Chains A and B, each alone.
Chain A
Amino acid sequence: MEKSNRVILDAKQFDLTIKRLAHQLIENHNDFTDTVILGMQPRGLFLANRIQAELLAINKKYKVQVGSLDTTFYRDDYRRQDNPLIPNKTHVDFIIEDKKVVLIDDVLFTGRSVRAGLDAMLAFGRPSKVELLVLINRRYERDLPIQAKYIGKNVHSVTSERVKVTWASKDGEDKVILYTPAND
């Protein structure tokens, strides 16, 4: 089905990248007392959980709460697709009022999911600051003025290409590939 695919991150690079992102967070957030992480459903949550585990592995004092955020009801392409969008679970059991929020997604592409994520997040309070962390940043592909603060890897790609992130915990292997769908 996939005409051509190129591995952008293999398992080893993947692991290093996550470690680096965790350290960058530590640099800016001291001991994380006022910081919470929101992973965007469905696949940003995998990254959020990995970052949370990585922080704990670095030092037990870096305990940070992770919530999952579903943006379905906030999307701007509802009814522009053939089927209604089916939501995932939102699970945020803390208040983000006056907290520093790190919003996490796997791939930053057009920026529309992040825009919806920002709206969805506001239902849980008014954060003091919001930062965006992504594993893959597809440059030159933005529809909206949205930029990530922490980036795992920048990728130069054309619109017809797709980025796929697979997770050891779900798909058996940590890997990022760039491919062109066959029917394009």
Chain B
Amino acid sequence: MTKLSVEHLLGIKYLQKEDIELIFQTADHFKNVINRPIKKVPSLRDITIANLFFENSTRTKLSFELAEKRLSADTINFASSSSSVTKGETLIDTVNNILSMKVDMVVMRHPNPGAAYFLSQHVDAKIVNAGDGAHEHPTQALLDGYSIREKHGDLKGKKVVIVGDVLHSRVALSNIFLLQKMGAIVKVCGPLTLIPKYISSLGVEVIPNLKEALNWCDVAMMLRIQLERQDTKFFPSLREYSMQYGLDKALLDSLDKEITVMHPGPINRGVEITSDVADSKQSIILNQVENGVAIRMAVLYLLAGRIE
């Protein structure tokens, strides 16, 4: 397989197993590139990429920007808070205006699920979804899968538990799709109010007890409690959540085996994970961030290859 089966990266749902493998293999080469004295290659020097962030982001935005710059693409940035969107411009109008400045690819984060798909139907540019509401966050799942592969050699047969706010998490959904496609076994753990009602239709089992879940798994993916997405109370208090579902060093040390701890960031230290766990040698949180740049370079490189 030498090219992706898709025109855009809208979600992991649309990818084949072979696409994911191709992205991982290409990322291996880019990881090599970004560890050289000169971290830049000229592959995308004739490409312009617009980063449209209709929702706040630190690491995803920086990671995409860095990936674009290391590929020598020209970039323009846009944040909705300082733009005409606040004057009532529609999404298609905003994007078409940007595209008429001769932009080849769009990286977009948007609060509405399906925004990236919608855009791909209406505009003539390659779209990379950088998170659409509580739907998908494909590059995060790719970098998570890549980090597990790096640590454990292969994803096939690995047991991964996703802990916490699965209901509001695009990271969880994308990871469930990706890990299952690559042959891993996924279960979720968390307060039942934060587990989607139809999770079993994805073939995912729920383990309500954290210790039981951790004893089962090879890798624990701790999710952030998304306070900004919770209009109603899903649990009585952060303190109670943290007591039931927070991962601390004592719990980690009490397990039968050494598990790998991941977190997509940003961390609420002391809520879903304590500082000593986040900074322990079992945590691969910072590797995830490093791999994010390599994965995004691979995605942009492979999609740019499909520009006519």
Q: Report which A residues bind B (CB closer than 8 A).
A: 70, 72-74, 78-79, 83-87, 89-90, 95, 119, 122-125
Contact = CB atoms under 8 A, between A and B. Distances in A.
B146 to A, nearest CB: 16
Given A90-B29, A123-B38, 11 more contacts: A72-B29, A73-B41, A73-B42, A78-B43, A79-B304, A84-B3, A84-B302, A84-B305, A84-B306, A123-B36, A125-B37
B33 interface: yes
Contacts of A70: 29
Nearest to A86: B2
Contacts of B32: 89-90
Interface of B: 2-3, 25-26, 29, 32-33, 36-38, 40-43, 301-302, 304-307
Interface SS, B side: loop
A122 B3 contact: no
A81 to B, nearest CB: 9
A76 to B, nearest CB: 9
A136 to B, nearest CB: 27
Interface SS, A side: loop
B6 to A, nearest CB: 13
Contacts, number: 49
A30 B301 CA distance: 43
B219 to A, nearest CB: 27
Contact of B26 (A87, A90, A119, A125): A87
Nearest to B2: A83
27 contacts: A73-B29, A73-B33, A73-B41, A73-B42, A73-B301, A74-B41, A78-B43, A78-B305, A79-B305, A84-B301, A84-B304, A84-B305, A85-B305, A86-B25, A86-B26, A87-B29, A89-B29, A119-B42, A123-B33, A123-B37, A123-B38, A123-B40, A123-B41, A124-B36, A124-B37, A124-B38, A125-B37
Contacts of B25: 86
Contacts of A87: 26, 29
A73 B43 contact: yes
A72 B38 CA distance: 16
Contacts of B2: 83-84, 86
Given A70-B29, A90-B29, A90-B32, A122 B38 contact: yes
B305 A83 contact: yes
A79 B3 CA distance: 12
Nearest to A116: B42
A90 B30 CA distance: 10
A20 to B, nearest CB: 34
A79 B307 contact: yes
A182 B26 CA distance: 33
A51 to B, nearest CB: 24
B308 to A, nearest CB: 9
B74 to A, nearest CB: 15
Contacts of A124: 36-38
Nearest to B72: A73
| Residue of B32, B40, B43 ringed by the most chain A CB atoms within 10 A | B43
A119 B33 CA distance: 13
B34 to A, nearest CB: 11
Contacts of B43: 73-74, 78
Which 4 pairs from chain A and chain B are nearest by CB?
A84-B305, A73-B41, A123-B38, A83-B2
A73 B41 CA distance: 6
Contacts of B33: 73, 123
Contacts of B305: 78-79, 83-85
A124 B40 CA distance: 11
Contacts of B302: 84
Given A78-B43, A84-B302, A86-B2, A95 B37 contact: yes
A74 B42 CA distance: 6
A35 to B, nearest CB: 20
| Residue of A70, A74, A83, A119 ringed by the most chain B CB atoms within 10 A | A83
B272 to A, nearest CB: 38
Contacts of A86: 2, 25-26
Contacts of B304: 79, 84
A84 B36 CA distance: 23
Contacts of B42: 73-74, 119
A84 B303 CA distance: 9
A70 B36 CA distance: 14
